[in-house]
């Protein structure tokens, strides 16, 4: 009986755990809270400077939006299409933030 259990455990750990780990939501709320807190510390522009914003401040705005979209995506994880659209928007926001930091004159382009 124990050899069958060990074989089943080996199959489970070698096949199903890696396959499911990328599809299931991350279940460690303490680590998620710590990472989000560290990301919030990166945002230093308060109040918003308006049209006088620098590249870094625009990237901080994109980070705030990406964090909000991440939270909304997690809340709507059971609604397939809505979660997919929110995740896509979060990726687009990430690209905008990177463009703000590294692109050619993003302040006038936006």
23 within domain boundaries = no
pLDDT of 19: 65
Q: Which domain holds residue 75?
A: 43-109
87 within domain boundaries = yes
pLDDT of 27: 64
pLDDT of 98: 82
71 within domain boundaries = yes
1 within domain boundaries = no
pLDDT of 36: 81
Q: How many domains does the chain have?
A: 1
Is residue 84 helix, strand or coil? Answer: helix
pTM score above 0.85 = no
Q: Where are the alpha helices (DSSP H) in the chain?
A: 2-11, 17-21, 29-42, 55-75, 80-102, 106-109
104 within domain boundaries = yes
pLDDT of 97: 82
26 within domain boundaries = no
Ranges in the chain, pLDDT < 70: 1, 16-27, 105-110
Backbone conformation region of residue 55, classed left if phi is above 0, alpha if psi is from -120 to 50, else beta: alpha
């Amino acid at each position: 009986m124990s050899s069958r259990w060990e074989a089943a455990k080996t199959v489970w750990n070698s096949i199903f755990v890696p396959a499911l780990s990328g599809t299931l939501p991350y279940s460690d709320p303490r680590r998620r809270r710590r990472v989000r807190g560290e990301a919030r510390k990166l945002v230093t522009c308060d109040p918003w400077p308006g049209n006088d914003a620098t590249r870094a401040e625009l990237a901080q705005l994109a980070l705030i939006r990406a964090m909000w979209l991440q939270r909304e995506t997690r809340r709507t994880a059971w609604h397939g299409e809505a979660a997919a659209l929110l995740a896509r928007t979060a990726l687009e926001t990430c690209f905008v933030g990177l463009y703000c930091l590294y692109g050619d004159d993003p302040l006038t382009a936006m």
